[in-house]
Amino acid sequence: MATVITPYLTLGAILFCIGLYGALSKKSAVIVLLSVELMLNAVNLNLIAFSKMGAKPALAGQIFSLFNITIAAAEVAVGIAILIMLYRNKGTADIDQMDSMKR
């Protein structure tokens, strides 16, 4: 069962697509951040699957996914901080209202 890599990659792809859909179409900024987290986790899955069952199994994949988790956490912290500042200035967390770069 563990020799075929396809199920893990499929799961990773599905999770990534769900996350992508959420990032591109949700109204609430918090949900968008959530979706970005989901995308990063899908990437982690891919990395670990390749580390164990890829063409050249190595430990590097797992190490890299540890890095990824760390970075995701840091990025979420900064993202929430920016979101809170944005909410304080604009009064809303709706992404569609954040269009001051328009033209």
Binding site for other proteins (CB under 8 A): 20, 23-25, 32, 95-96, 98-103
Q: Nearest approach, Cβ of 66 to other proteins (angstroms)? A: 27
Nearer to other proteins, 19 or 51 (CB): 19
CB atoms within 10 A of CB 48: 17
- Contacts of residues 71-78 at CB distance under 8 Å and 24 or more positions apart, as own/partner, are 72/37, 72/40, 72/41, 75/36, 76/33, 76/36, 76/37
Nearer to other proteins, 56 or 103 (CB): 103
Q: Nearest approach, Cβ of 101 to other proteins (angstroms)? A: 4
